[in-house]
Amino acid sequence: MKIPFSPPYIDEAVINEVVDSLRSGWITSGPKVKALEEEIKVFSNAKEVLCVNSWTSGAIMMLRWLGVTAEDEVIVPAYTYSATALAVLHAGAKPVMVDSGEDFNISVDAIQKAITPRTKAIIPVDIAGFPCDYDRIMRLVNEPEIRNLFQAASFVQEKLGRILVMNDAAHSLGAYYSKNQRTGCETDIAIFSLHAVKNVTTAEGGAICLNLPEPFDNAELYKELRMMSLNCQTKDAFSKSKAGGWRYDIVGLGMKINMADVNAAIGLAQIREYPELLKERKRVFNTYSKAFADCDWVILPPSEDGEKESSYHIYALRIKDFTEEQRDRMIDEIAKSEVAVNVHFIPMPMLSFFSSLGYDIKNYPQAYENFKGEISLPIYPQLDEEKLDFIIKAVKDAYLKVTVDR
* Helix, strand, or coil (residue 246): coil
Q: Which residues contact residue 328 at a Cβ distance below 8 angstroms, ignoring those fewer than 6 apart? A: none
Residue 78 CA to residue 82 CA, distance in Å, equals 9
Best CA proximity match to 125, nearest among 104, 142, 146? 104
Q: Are 162 and 150 in contact (CB under 8 A)?
A: yes
Q: Give per-residue burial for 103-142: e unless 16+ CB within 10 Å, then b.
A: bbbbbbebbbebbeebbbbbbbbbbbbbbbbbeebeebbe
Q: Are 122 and 74 in contact (CB under 8 A)?
A: yes
* Helix, strand, or coil (residue 97): strand
Bridge partner list, 299: 318
Q: Which residues contact residue 351 at a Cβ distance below 8 angstroms, ignoring those fewer than 6 apart? A: 82
C-alpha distance from residue 224 to each of 37, 62, 166, 210, 221 (Å): 16, 11, 18, 12, 5
Q: Which residues contact residue 110 at a Cβ distance below 8 angstroms, ignoring those fewer than 6 apart? A: 98, 99, 100
Q: What angle do CA 388, 270, 198 make, to 5 degrees?
A: 60
Best CA proximity match to 174, nearest among 201, 138, 143? 201
Bridge partner list, 309: 176, 304
Best CA proximity match to 66, nearest among 141, 120, 147, 123? 120
| Residues classed as catalytic | 198
Bridge partner list, 308: 305
